[in-house]
Amino acid sequence: MTISVEEVFETVNMTLRHHFDIRTVTLGINLKDCMDRNLGAFCRRIRKRIVEMGQQLNRMADTVEDQYGIPITNRRIAVTPVSLLMEPLPQRESTAVRIARELDGAADKAGIDFIGGFGAMVQKGMTRSDRTLMEAIPAALSATKRLCGFLNLASTAAGMNMTAIAEFGDILKRLAKRTKNGIGCAKIAVFANVPEDNPFMAGAHHGIGEPDYSLNIGISGPGVVRAVIDQNPECDLTELSEVIKRTVFKITRAGELIGREMARLMRVDFGIVDISLAATPNAGDSVAEIVESMGVSRMGRPGSTAALAMLIDAVKKGGSMASGNVGGLSGTFIPVSEDAGMIRAVRSGALNLEKLEALTSVCSVGMDMFAVPGDTPADVLSAIIADELAIGVANHKTTSVRVIPVPGKKAGQIVHFGGLLGSAPIMKIPRQASPKFIARRGRIPAPIQALRN
């Protein structure tokens, strides 16, 4: 892949003026060959590998950042789903918590921002190890700083594990109570159709179909996209789509250049470029503001879903033309707390829970980083999750939920998380949902298309 001088200058301009950065370089690490029936031996192996590879990742990221002048905001590691690694070990909560602490400590020693993979694939059923890990989530994520977790609770091929979904509502409540402002809940996401090469937390993990090591890139450019839309105020939507496609093409080319160079320096496989537009609380770095720049008066009002659908389609087309290694989530994040435009939309009343769910029918990520009253019943949380994952199952797409029940907070108040997690207005949600439906448990079967597998 050759990069022209003109593209280099364009990338420099995007970096200086419009917050373009490499949101994350995420090294996927296979830990299956570290498995052992002795917990101490297992922990020593995973710590050694993560520290060595994490330190190397940091060194190479610094080198590439200096060489190309493009900021790399986060350095992350994703490991094999921990429930698989726990299979030979004693099935006790203390086992899972010990592993969580080891992963967190290794990431800290290596200078890694986040480490993901404390999770399980339970879309069709749960092993003893899966159950042990799920029960340990409140203790594990409240005792660690850098560790993130995930659960794949549904898939188009398997259907929806309603038993796990029902149990997760209670797990989430217990985790919220153990952490300040429920912030521990920001460190775990639940999915339908989770990708195995996702570089973005909290859902990152190193899938079983991946090589021993893979270097995945997550790019970010909401400010860049908004700038080109503002520069084209009179063009029709067909032309606007082309403008966005060309812009994302350039962003993706820059991301792949960085990813391939880092993979070469580390002598590992280059994985994917995730072309998701990821917002931050910084001014001008908002996906909601992109939608509003397109002509929607406020994110959440009528027209928002159509505008978001067009934006994501253009992002996907531009990225796929730029690289044969597009993967992960690749679309648009619309987290409430991390996006200044989304926060304004909720506080003004333009965006409510129901409209947020509707927007996720076309976005690539789901209901992300939204806060609800701390006294929300567990079955209501489970029902919200079930609704969102059903959208993913029925539409053959990835959807996820990251919801934070904030202890002591009521609808209309605001909670400040700080850093990239921003601030979240507490959204008003129903106090009653579908307790008898959730209590049935079992599994919602896969859609009929799955019979072609």
Least confident of 76-85, 116-125, 236-245: 236-245
Query: Could you give the CA distance from residue 244 to residue 422 in angstroms, rounded to a whole number?
Result: 27
In degrees rounded to 5, what are phi and psi of residue 190?
Answer: -110, 145
Give residue 18's pLDDT. Answer: 47
In degrees rounded to 5, what are phi and psi of residue 47?
Answer: -65, -45
Domains of the chain: 24-217+326-447 (3.20.70.20)
Local confidence band at 1 (pLDDT 50, 70, 90 cut-offs): very low
Give residue 453's pLDDT. Answer: 52
- Given a cut of 70, is residue 452 above it in pLDDT? no
Give residue 374's pLDDT. Answer: 93
Give residue 331's pLDDT. Answer: 76
Percentage of the chain with pLDDT > 70? Answer: 93
At CA 232, angle to CA 227 and CA 238, rounded to 5? 115
**Tokens at 375, concatenated:** 């006294």
352-367: average pLDDT: 89
- Given a cut of 90, is residue 59 above it in pLDDT? yes
428-434: average pLDDT: 90
Q: How many residues does the chain have?
A: 453
CB count in 10 Å sphere of residue 179: 18
**Tokens at 182, concatenated:** 């429920």
- Across all residues in the chain, what is the average pLDDT? 89
Query: What is the value of pTM for the model shown?
Result: 0.91
**Tokens at 4, concatenated:** 């022209």
Bridge-based pairing state of the strands 399-406 and 366-373: parallel
pLDDT tens track for 62-112? 998 888 878 888 899 999 999 999 999 999 999 999 999 999 999 999 999
pLDDT tens track for 362-398? 876 889 889 999 999 999 999 999 999 999 999 999 9
pLDDT tens track for 390-426? 999 999 999 999 999 999 999 989 888 877 677 889 9
Query: Could you give the CA distance from residue 253 to residue 323 in angstroms, rounded to a whole number?
Result: 7
3-state class of 230 per DSSP? helix
- Given a cut of 80, is residue 210 above it in pLDDT? yes
Give residue 14's pLDDT. Answer: 53
Local confidence band at 16 (pLDDT 50, 70, 90 cut-offs): very low
pLDDT tens track for 259-282? 999 999 999 999 999 888 877 666
pLDDT tens track for 269-316? 999 998 888 776 666 678 899 999 999 999 999 999 999 999 999 999
Local confidence band at 204 (pLDDT 50, 70, 90 cut-offs): very high
| Among the listed residues 436, 384, 386, 391, the one whose alpha carbon sits nearest the alpha carbon of residue 405 | 384
